[in-house]
Amino acid sequence: MNKVTVKDIEVKGKRVLVRVDFNVPLDEKTGDIADDNRIRAALPTIKYLKDHGAKVILMSHLGRPKGKVVKNLRLNAIAERLSQVLRQPVAMAPDCVGAGVERMVAAMKAGDVLMLENLRFHKEEEAGDLPFAQALARLGEVFVNDAFGAAHRAHASVSVIAGFLPAAAGFLMEKEVANLGKIMENPVRPFAALLGGAKISDKVSMLENIMDKVDYVMVGGGMAATFLKAESYEVGQSLVETDMLDTASRLIELARKKKVNLMLPMDFVVADEVNSGARTENVPTAEIPGEKRIVDIGPQTIDAFSLELRKCKTIFWNGPMGIFEIPEFAGGTKELAKLLAGLEAMTVIGGGSTAEAVGEMGLADKMTFVSTGGGASLEFLSGDELPGVAALPDKE
């Protein structure tokens, strides 16, 4: 990565404002942090700054409160968890801008860590508002962006603020860009993209861009239904993105032209309800019953994907193969996660639910790289420079 990083700048005694992505998944019932990987992933940058005598001011969003204060989306619990993993107190600010926060910042000593309140409690954050970015910038003397997961958003704290302070990339940002850059620039072939999740719509530009680089595109998850419908299969009650049918056909045609082996599932697990305990059956793709829904890929598909994945030297995986949250529908995702964990290939996991699945299975260490960016990793693979990266200065 040809960007200025924290190592290139003087931080001693300075107020360093760090954008992190602590938008962690929360347990639906309890509201507790369900996965703290994004917090742990920012530790190298936070520790480095602390150890080099900086005053560390952290800012993040959580969820989508849309410009209002939402109690459940306060960052207190996150500051607390950070304090545990960092083994030092982390002060919590009542807001992210304003006189009160400025006073807290002014009282900081070298090595102190302060967490600002959820940026998205202000609608100006997502609007990329200049005065708001300036108000944030006033808190620091240097800006460090370590929020790869949010780098695809042109928000005030992500890209706009870099116009007001000397800026640098944090270690996580650097690592993400290096790893994802590697699979885009010179992947060792054969190269497979294993894709799942609900929707095609958020993967179209990525698919178009990688068709020149990959040997395989393997499609599972809910998005397979749209591809199959475009190929005139009946998919029962499965969700189909009807406005994406032409796009799906075009992608199938593009793969044919580029000689990419686009593999769709040949069988599925289907169920009449999306519930634990629902009755399931395995059916071939041509025989999906009208009243049932696709909930996972089937055993033949797992075998077919596995056979080809074993030949690959580079694999990018984004999106579960089925409704992973429900144990009965997690088989395809689990089998392929186990397979990837055992391969001698460069295995890169896109963030979001795929990273969670791999983490829950205890396989994260067995992958070459697990990205903390869901949407961001997809946009990175679309080939466009992310706003949060573009805003950082290049190395001299």
Q: Catalytic residues, which ones?
A: 38, 199, 352, 375
- Where do runs of H (alpha helix) occur along the chain? 37-41, 43-51, 76-86, 99-106, 123-127, 130-137, 171-185, 204-210, 223-230, 245-257, 299-309, 331-342, 352-360, 375-381, 387-390
Number of C-beta neighbours around residue 87 at 10 A = 6
Residue 21 in the binding site for ligand 3PG (CB under 6 A)? yes
Query: Among 209, 159, 221, 77, which Cα is nearest to 393's?
Result: 159
Show the tokens assigned to 367: 């992958």
Site for ligand 3PG in 60-99 (CB under 6 A): 64
Does residue 150 belong to the site contacting ligand 3PG (CB under 6 A)? yes
Choose one: 40-48, 171-179, 341-349, 369-377; the region binding Mg ion (CB under 5 A). Answer: 369-377
> How many residues in total does the chain contain?
396
Q: Which of 221, 222, 375, 388 binds ligand 3PG (CB under 6 A)?
A: 375
| Residue 332 interacting entry, from Mg ion, ligand 3PG, none, C-beta within 5 to 8 Å by type | none
The answer to whether 19 and 143 are in contact (CB under 8 A) is: yes
Residue closest to Mg ion, measured at CB: 375
350 binds Mg ion (CB under 5 A): no
Give the DSSP letter string of 317-331: EES-SS-TTSGGG-H
- The minimum distance between CB 267 and ligand 3PG, in angstroms, equals 32
Asked if 395 touches ligand 3PG (CB under 6 A), the answer is no
Cross-strand bridge partners of residue 316: 193, 348
∠ CA 170-173-177, rounded to 5°: 140
Pick the binder of Mg ion from 187, 373, 375, 387 (CB under 5 A).
375
- CB closer to Mg ion, 296 vs 379: 379
Q: Which of 29-37, 86-94, 149-157, 161-169 is the region at the interface with ligand 3PG (rule: CB under 6 A)?
A: 149-157
314 binds, among Mg ion, ligand 3PG, none (CB under 5 to 8 A by kind): none
Report the interface residues with ligand 3PG, using CB under 6 A. Answer: 21, 23, 64, 149-150, 153, 374-375
